Amino acid sequence: MKASPWIVGISDAVGFVIGAQCGLWLGAWLGFDAFEAGLTNSALVGILFLAIGGGLGLQLSSRWRAKRAQRAAAKDE
């Protein structure tokens, strides 16, 4: 069974936003401010944390959908 485009889009968006927020908080906790004025090293590392967090959140949402589809396929058998 193919996933609904709505489920794919919403889960991707939620995963990315939550992951990016976690990356932003982790970077701020470690002292790297993504919203610092200018392109300082601290700002660039903060942006890197934000981007990596967003990518990890997106991967987790993709894995969640795959596991959900696998359970649905097993239930149908």
Q: Exposed e or buried b for every residue in 8-31, given b needs 16+ CB within 10 A?
A: eeebeeebbebbbebbbeebeeee
For 13-55, what is each residue's pLDDT tens digit? 999 999 999 999 999 999 999 999 989 999 999 999 999 999 9
pLDDT at 77 over 80: no
Flag whether the pTM goes above 0.75. yes
